[in-house]
Amino acid sequence: MTGREFLELDSLKQRMYLEKLKRMEGIQKIFNELPKADQNLCNHGTYFFAANSSLCGLAANSLFRNILHIRRAAFVSALPMAVIPFLSTAAVYDVFLREPLFSGELNCEVCTVARGGLIGAVVGGFYPVFLALPLNASLAARYSSTPLPGKENLLRYWLAISQPVFRRMSLGVLIQAVTGIYLATKQHEVYAKILQQLSAKTDPEELEA
């Protein structure tokens, strides 16, 4: 590649970056002019979604504690099962859906809805259950609340313990998937409104005003 071609490529990248920045500024400006209901849905809807993950974590923790007959360290086990799923779900949803959507990088409605459902099912539903297993396993071993098998039968034992928990939590996983789909659909509708207003403003000076 010659020096001239390199400079042209660098200039093209700069123009694309500036156009992307300008588009993001236009999206943000129109977003700030939307009704408060739409703004609250996009700004705070993630927290309601994440709160459901906390409930899934607490429910899974309670089920494992009952199966393993753990009667001690209730607060110690409940606190991480409420906080970690909340933070994880909120962070993953913001990074992989909300921010790409409102920065103009995610335009496909089907992709948006699919991401919402996947994040809801995996991060908001399955992850809290998986997180509760090692936590309660360590508590069961520490307090000797139930007889634990030897290393040769350890995997089979924990699979048997986990099956009824996953079976009971399947409804929670489904609810989280539906909630993720619903939230992603509504936020994409808000984004579609922004695009309509953005396309109506054909004068570049109007966007910069």
Look up the pTM and report it. Answer: 0.84
Other beta carbons less than 10 A from residue 137's beta carbon: 18
Question: What does the pLDDT read at residue 88?
Answer: 96
Question: What is the C-alpha to C-alpha distance for residues 41 and 43, in angstroms, rounded to an integer?
Answer: 6
User: pLDDT digit string (tens) for 84-114?
Assistant: 999 999 999 999 999 999 888 888 999 999 9
Number of structural domains found in the chain:
1
Q: How much is the pLDDT for 28? A: 83
What tens digit of pLDDT does each residue of 5-34 get? Answer: 545 555 666 766 667 777 778 788 888 888
Domain presence at residue 31: no
Residue 72 DSSP symbol: S
165: Cα separation from own chain's centroid: 22
pLDDT, one tens digit per residue, over 128-167 is 999 999 999 999 989 888 888 877 788 899 899 999 999 9
Task: Flag whether 28 is in a domain.
Answer: no
Q: Is residue 20 part of a domain?
A: no
Q: Is residue 130 in some structural domain?
A: yes
Question: For residue range 174-195, what is the model confidence (pLDDT) as tens digits?
Answer: 999 999 999 999 999 999 998 8
Radius of gyration of the CA atoms of the chain, in A: 23
Q: Is residue 98 part of a domain?
A: yes
Whether 176 is covered by a domain: the verdict is yes
Task: Calculate the dihedral angle through the C-alpha atoms of 42, 47, 52, 54, rounding to the nearest 10 degrees.
Answer: 160
Whole domain around residue 67: which residue ranges? 45-197
pLDDT bucket at 4, cuts 50 / 70 / 90: low
Look up residue 105 and give its two tokens. 């990088």
High-pLDDT (> 90) share of the chain, %: 60
Q: Is residue 29 part of a domain?
A: no
pLDDT at 201 over 80: no
3-state secondary structure the chain: CCHHHHHHHHHHHHHHHHHHHHHHHHHHHHHHCCCHHHHHHHHHHHHHHHHHHHHHHHHHHHHHHHHCCCCCCHHHHHHHHHHHHHHHHHHHHHHHHHHHHHCCCCCCHHHHHHHHHHHHHHHHHHHHHHHHHHHHHHHHHHHCCCCCCCHHHHHHHHHHHHHHHHHHHHHHHHHHHHHHHHHHHHHHHHHHHHHHHHHHCCCHHHHHC
For residue 149, being part of any structural domain is answered with yes
Q: Using one digit for the tens of pLDDT, what is the confidence trace for 39-83?
A: 999 989 999 999 999 999 999 999 999 999 999 989 989 999 999
